[in-house]
Amino acid sequence: PLPVSRSHSQCPVPLSRRDNVSSGSIRPTWAPFNSVLASEEKLLFSLRLMNEDWSSERDFSSFRLGDVLNLQAEVGAHSHVPLRLFVDSCVATLGPGAGSEPHYAIIDFNGCLVDGRSDATSSAFVTPRPRQDVLRFQIDAFRFAGDARSLIYITCHLKVTPAEQSPDALNKACSFSKARNIWAPVEGTRDICSCCELGNCGSAA
């Protein structure tokens, strides 16, 4: 079987939900990062900010607090082997790189969209997928508390598995439903999301 493949995608995007929603517009700088992973084949990973109907990339004029940001992760491969894409983690920081401080986890624990667990958010994965090699998610705009900077970097760890492989605790896309008070997967059985609440989903071998 095709081994799990991994890549990091990073793009700066302005986020703020912890200040007054009526405050001024945010001026973003967006520079999508694509990477090519050489293993048994070449995989091109991308992370893009999309418009409201997901038909094209959004222009980057400005954002306001409370806006919903549409993010689309995708992988391209010159292969006959169907792939399923997952977003393993996403971290928001004030500087480039996932290790920059301060940081805020948007997606963690191998595909748990933990930002959606916060009271003030509606962040979630979009279901169903348009294709197995595409995964969409929405996050509410926010800013780090006590920091006036409007430019925030989002670094995401993307990976793929064979599409025929069933999602599991290490390869999943789970959102928290406040209405039902449960974690629910984009696909697969609900038990694969149970570790999201525990905050520990194990680790890849």
For residues 39-47, give the mean pLDDT.
Answer: 77
State the pLDDT confidence band at 8, using cuts at 50, 70 and 90: low
SS3 of residue 84 by DSSP: strand
State the pLDDT confidence band at 43, using cuts at 50, 70 and 90: confident
Measured between alpha carbons, how far is 38 from 34 in angstroms, rounded to an integer?
13
Angle at 106 between CA 30 and CA 182, to 5 degrees: 140
β-strands 182-185, 35-38: how paired?
unpaired
pLDDT of amino acid 10: 55
Instruction: Looking at mean pLDDT, say which of 14-23, 77-86, 106-115, 134-143 comes out highest.
Output: 106-115
CATH domain 44-198 topology: Immunoglobulin-like (2.60.40)
For residues 124-139, give the mean pLDDT.
Answer: 97
pLDDT of 22 > 50? The answer is no
Share of the chain above pLDDT 70, in %: 76
Out of 31-35, 98-102, 123-127, 160-164, least confident range? 31-35
pLDDT of 171 > 90? The answer is yes
Angle at 102 between CA 96 and CA 103, to 5 degrees: 70
Question: Structural domain boundaries of the chain?
Answer: 44-198
**DSSP symbols for 70-135:** EEEEEEEESSSS-EEEEEEEEEEESSSSTT-SSEEEEEBTTTB-GGGGSTT---EE-SS-SSTTEE
Measured between alpha carbons, how far is 135 from 112 in angstroms, rounded to an integer?
13
